[in-house]
Amino acid sequence: MTDRTDTPMDWGSPGFNAIEAVMWKAEADPALSSTIMAVEELDRAPEWERFSAAHDWGSRMVPRFRQRVVDGPLGYPAWVDDRDFDLRHHVFRAEMPDGTWQDVLDRAATVAQTAFEPARPPWEALLLTGLRGGRAAYLLKMHHATLDGAAGVQLFAGLHSRQREHNAGKPQPAPPEPRRPNVLRSAVRRELALVGRGVGLLRGTGRAALHPARTVGYVASLRRVLGPVSATPSPELAERSGTWRFIALDVPLPGLSAAAKQAGASLNDAYLAAVSGAFARYHEALGRPVDELPLSIPISIRRPEETSGGNRFAAARLSAPTGIADPTERMLAIRSVVRAIRKEPAIEALDGLSPALARLPTPVLSRAVRQMTSTSDVQASNIPGIRDAEVFVAGAQVLRLYGFGPLPGVAAMIVLMSHGSTCCVTINHDAAAIAEPETFRRCLVEAFDEILALAPTGSRATLRE
């Protein structure tokens, strides 16, 4: 007899935190859409009935999938149970005969830009079958207010199977009973928590006043964290069309790690050095070389005791050293800057300001967010993925997992997500911002190959087409 606990996963914060509320409200401006998408390559097409049943099971394991968003008191969004939840509004399939991987990415970009139904939980799943080689693709579209990259990996690790065969012994929680939403009570609790946080900040300020040097140091850190960086946005990346374009490439994880070690740097340093090198090559190809480029990166502020799911990150900005030709020197320069950023006392300042931002009238909030994000040309994330080489969805093995982020006013969003022994690198770019996409693709591959060449592994990056 199998011993199991038929309870849902402990995934998903109880309600919106401030940064999630900002993301949800700000996308009243279409340019600030916060849709994210996971695209998995499957070795075969799963049976539709089993695939659909897997999503029913997932929605019982993770109750957030059966919740929608409503406007609460003071215009602050809130999660409530969807009393009319129907899987048929969320799980779809389509044939793509002899489809290439670029066909999948083009379809994914179109799906990502389609607005969610406001009266339903903000997620959709799409199974694409008939691809070349008998393979399939699984697209999961969600709203960034639900999760960040780390929370996404937690989600997939909890819901993906470690075996191809059906597991009859897995937990089988009952569908949650829709509860009558008590949005007012939740709002009161949230406001009381914020008052308590404010009192704590005042006490901290009082204590800091007794240490002027510490106060001066924090103010200086605040200026560095929230102030502009030395690099100015590139005129070559300034145009915006509002149309997303998806690119993906595979980079061998052992090769990238070995290259980083050879230079005395981390894998993240190697990744950001390759991103910087790609944009340096692209600008050189256009005849407009740049020495620096404004780049944003997320810094995780998630603590071990915090629940899974949700968003726990701080945004940091830096000047990417595109003018450093030597890849090792570029890597070490990035290492120095990122290390300094992580040690900033005020690194969580934006998280502290988010409650005030979330309460701004929506048009004012959207303008403020657009102004903040427009100071960067590129956002880049590095997400440690699922290390198990073999995970399955309804009997189909996941060969690759690509994560695509949104374009909150920037020219390009680049994400590295490791999967087994592969770094799955994705690029979401505005179609007008990168006017010569084929040139940019070539520059991407060359930049990663330049980093990989630092280690004697013979590794090469592969553009998915």
Find the angle CA(16)-CA(139)-CA(414) to the nearest 5 degrees: 70
139: Cβ contacts below 8 Å, ≥ 6 apart: 37, 38, 39, 40, 104, 107, 108, 111, 124, 125, 126, 127, 128
Instruction: Find the largest Cα–Cα distance for the chain.
Output: 70
Judge whether 262 and 320 are in contact, CB under 8 Å.
no
DSSP string, 354-419: HHHHHTS-HHHHHHHHHHHHTT-SEEEEEE-----S--EETTEEEEEEEEE---SSSSEEEEEEEE
CA angle 349, 354, 355 (to 5 degrees): 120
Catalytic residues: 144
- Whether the CB-CB separation of 260 and 270 falls below 8 Å is answered with yes
d(C-alpha 459, C-alpha 47), whole Å: 36
Q: Give the whole-angstrom CA distance, residue 177 versus residue 82.
A: 10
Residues in a beta bridge with 39: 139, 402
337's CB contacts (< 8 A; 6+ apart) are: 318, 319
Please state, in angstroms and rounded to a whole number, the distance separating the CA atoms of residues 432 and 412.
11
Coil, strand or helix at 142: strand
